[in-house]
């Protein structure tokens, strides 16, 4: 297994943790949202506005297929990557799946300040987090090879991931 794949809800810290994890393990860092935006030459909110969520999910799946083929990469995924089981199937072929897990109340606290997440825009954020987590929470758990408590500083989480994954090898 050569890739470390981070999954979890918006605001869980996948990108910050992923960057620090890649540095600590001398691996490359890849962010699927960043790639989608780069390939579309549009920000994620613009993709949602212009073409809708379905189109975003198609672009996301294409990027997932590409990055799943990499070696020695830390891959931070978007919170909805688990909605398509084919995404996970591909990522699992060459990677271990690490779920950055937070309680719903902590997620609600964190997403309050996120401005660039189309799925949370103009909606009651507490209710939206609750509804999305009802569907996604079980999927994150089902697909995770490791579940890591995200309620710690980034460095401590990186240490926990390194301990969990590399002590298992």
Count CB atoms within 10 A of the CB of residue 37: 18
Residue of the chain from 18, 80, 95, 150 that contacts ligand S3P (CB under 6 A): 80
Closest CB to ligand S3P among 58 and 163?
58
Closest CB to ligand S3P among 13 and 95?
13
Structure token pair of residue 72: 């020695």
**Residue 7 near residue 82, CB atoms below 8 Å:** yes
Structure token pair of residue 80: 């909805």
Backbone angles phi, psi at 83, to 5 degrees: -70, -20
Give kind and range of the element (H or E) at residue 73: strand 73-76
Select from 18-26, 63-71, 72-80, 91-99 the region that touches ligand S3P (CB under 6 A). Answer: 72-80
Count CB atoms within 10 A of the CB of residue 164: 15
* 150 makes contact with ligand S3P (CB under 6 A): no
* 95 makes contact with ligand S3P (CB under 6 A): no
Closest CB to ligand S3P among 102 and 169?
102
Closest CB to ligand S3P among 79 and 95?
79
Residue of the chain from 92, 117, 121, 125 that contacts ligand S3P (CB under 6 A): 117
**Residue 64 near residue 48, CB atoms below 8 Å:** no
Using CB under 6 A, list all residues that contact ligand S3P.
10, 14, 33, 44, 78-80, 117-119
């Amino acid at each position: 297994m050569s890739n470390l794949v981070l999954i979890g809800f918006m605001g869980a810290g996948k990108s910050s943790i992923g960057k620090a994890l890649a540095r600590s393990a001398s691996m490359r860092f890849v962010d699927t949202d960043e790639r989608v935006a780069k390939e579309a030459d549009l920000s994620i909110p613009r993709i949602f506005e212009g073409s809708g969520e379905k189109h975003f999910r198609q672009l996301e799946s294409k990027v997932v297929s590409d990055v799943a083929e990499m070696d020695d990469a830390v891959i931070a995924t978007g919170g909805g990557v688990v909605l398509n089981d084919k995404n996970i199937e591909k990522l699992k072929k060459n990677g271990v799946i690490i779920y950055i897990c937070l309680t719903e109340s902590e997620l609600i606290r964190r997403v309050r300040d996120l401005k660039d997440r189309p799925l949370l825009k103009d909606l009651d954020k507490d209710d939206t987090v609750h509804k999305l987590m009802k569907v996604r929470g079980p999927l994150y758990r089902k697909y995770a090879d490791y579940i890591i408590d995200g309620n710690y500083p980034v460095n401590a989480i990186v240490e926990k991931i390194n301990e969990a994954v590399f002590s298992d090898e």
